[in-house]
């Protein structure tokens, strides 16, 4: 039976701009990164991070993510590079395709962690801010597979079945053509697994945004929610794919990976508790943080027009949501919580001074041993005894005391 409708596929995935090839796969990845950065930047500002921090994070996270994605692909498909007919140097040919999302997330997380430490931002805040942006980036990136006519599923007669071209091995990025110059199609239609995953990822992003707003997730739990949502979808979509892959116990390797990562994220989500973290700058003042839901672009323009460019803060302090809202409204930095030790409490109670180091220690004061002891004072025996004193009969009366006796 001939299907009534079908999804077409592009016959070209590479365009030449002079000597420079423009690859659709790379453009989709770049566009996905831009989408993730825009979403993450907005969410970071809502939590108190200074404008532009996402660019500092991306400088580390994007390269390490690409490296991690390539390493995962090479490790899980070694026969293509180190097998009997493999070409080891092809392992570095990223432009020919072959990136694993699991390695991308792991490598990107490492880069983001390094950047977060340099900026003084808790890594959990960065991860939670990235949680809805990352699946949106993956959704955009999946259209690169559509241009490449790859990673499709099995045969189907559904109206949204995908037409797949036979790609020319001697002219990468272009469909093989017949004698009339028409692109050649694979027989039949196929499940558009790239589209299934793209739509699923958009749903995951919406789920994270809704639950994060409702539950006020913190401590990395929003990111764990993203991981659970993505891996749940990847599990069943991976079962539909028919491209070459290594198998373990009859299942594709990525099916096992999705299941294990899902369990790890679920355990983290259930065990970790804590309020959402908000940040205020420490050290050099940063650009004032706009209220949640405000127009970020307008705040940036007004800040630039008002004066010189703001300098990034030295770091950040984690505060409660109430303290952060008060800081937004008044600009007053909340007092830091003070911790007192038993030693501090004893000295304060005993001396009622600010700091033990700023006052004379008790050892510097006159101790009882340094004072005149009772033994050093005139003893009663050394004083004039009653017998040695002038008896009443021998001394003058009170009225007859001589001045010379008082002066001597």
Query: Is residue 353 scored above 80 in pLDDT?
Result: no
Per-residue confidence band for 284, with pLDDT thresholds at 50, 70 and 90? low
- So where are the chain's domains? 14-271, 278-355
Give yes or no for a contact between 125 and 46, defined as CB atoms under 8 angstroms apart: no
Query: Is residue 342 scored above 70 in pLDDT?
Result: no
Query: Is residue 358 scored above 60 in pLDDT?
Result: no
Per-residue confidence band for 396, with pLDDT thresholds at 50, 70 and 90? very low
| Distance in angstroms (rounded) separating the CA atoms of residues 215 and 131 | 14
Burial grade of 10 (CB within 10 A; 0-12, 13-18, 19 or more):
middle
Q: What is the pLDDT at residue 269?
A: 97
- Whether residue 142 is annotated as binding a ligand: the answer is yes
| Distance in angstroms (rounded) separating the CA atoms of residues 140 and 7 | 17
| Distance in angstroms (rounded) separating the CA atoms of residues 97 and 288 | 43
6 sits in the region (left: phi over 0; alpha: psi -120 to 50; else beta) called beta
Give yes or no for a contact between 32 and 201, defined as CB atoms under 8 angstroms apart: no
Per-residue H/E/C for 261-305: HHHHHHHHHHHCCCCCCEEEEECCCCCCCCCCCCCHHHHHHHHHH
Stated length of the chain? 408
Could you tell me which of 24, 213, 17 has the C-alpha nearest to residue 128? 213
């Amino acid at each position: 039976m001939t299907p009534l409708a079908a999804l077409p596929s592009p016959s070209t995935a590479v365009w030449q701009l002079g000597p420079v090839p423009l690859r659709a796969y790379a453009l989709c990845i770049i566009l996905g990164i831009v989408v993730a950065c825009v979403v993450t930047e907005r969410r970071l500002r809502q939590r108190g991070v200074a404008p532009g921090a996402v660019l500092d994070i991306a400088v580390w996270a994007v390269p390490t993510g690409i490296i991690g994605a390539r390493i995962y692909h090479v490790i899980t498909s070694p026969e293509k590079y180190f097998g009997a007919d493999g070409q080891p140097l092809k392992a570095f040919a990223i432009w020919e395709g072959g990136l694993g999302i699991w390695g991308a997330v792991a490598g990107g997380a490492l880069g983001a962690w390094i950047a977060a430490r340099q900026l003084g931002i808790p890594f959990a805040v960065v991860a939670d801010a990235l949680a809805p942006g990352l699946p949106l980036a993956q959704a955009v990136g999946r259209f690169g597979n559509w241009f490449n006519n790859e990673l499709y599923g099995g045969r189907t007669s559904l109206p949204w079945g995908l037409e797949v071209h036979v790609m020319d091995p001697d002219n990468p990025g272009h469909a093989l053509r017949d004698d009339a110059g028409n692109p050649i199609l694979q027989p039949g239609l196929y499940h558009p697994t790239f589209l299934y995953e793209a739509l699923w990822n958009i749903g995951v992003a919406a789920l994270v945004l809704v639950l994060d707003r409702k539950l006020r997730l913190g401590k990395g739990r929003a990111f764990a929610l993203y991981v659970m949502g993505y891996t749940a979808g990847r599990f069943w979509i991976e079962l539909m794919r028919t491209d070459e892959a290594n198998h373990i116990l009859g299942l594709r390797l990525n099916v096992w990976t999705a299941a294990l990562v899902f369990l790890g994220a679920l355990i983290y989500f259930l065990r970790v508790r804590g309020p959402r973290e908000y940040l205020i700058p420490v050290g050099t003042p940063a650009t004032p943080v706009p209220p949640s839901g405000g127009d970020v672009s307008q705040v940036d323009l007004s800040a630039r027009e008002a004066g010189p460019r703001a300098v990034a803060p030295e770091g950040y302090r984690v505060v409660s949501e109430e303290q952060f809202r008060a800081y937004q409204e008044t600009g007053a930095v909340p007092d830091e919580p003070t911790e007192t030790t038993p030693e501090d409490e004893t000295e304060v109670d005993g001396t009622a001074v600010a700091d033990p180091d700023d006052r004379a220690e008790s050892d510097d004061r006159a101790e009882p041993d340094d004072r005149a002891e009772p033994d050093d004072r005139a003893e009663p025996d050394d004083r004039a005894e009653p017998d040695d004193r002038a008896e009443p009969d021998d001394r003058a009366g009170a009225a007859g005391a001589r001045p010379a006796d008082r002066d001597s």
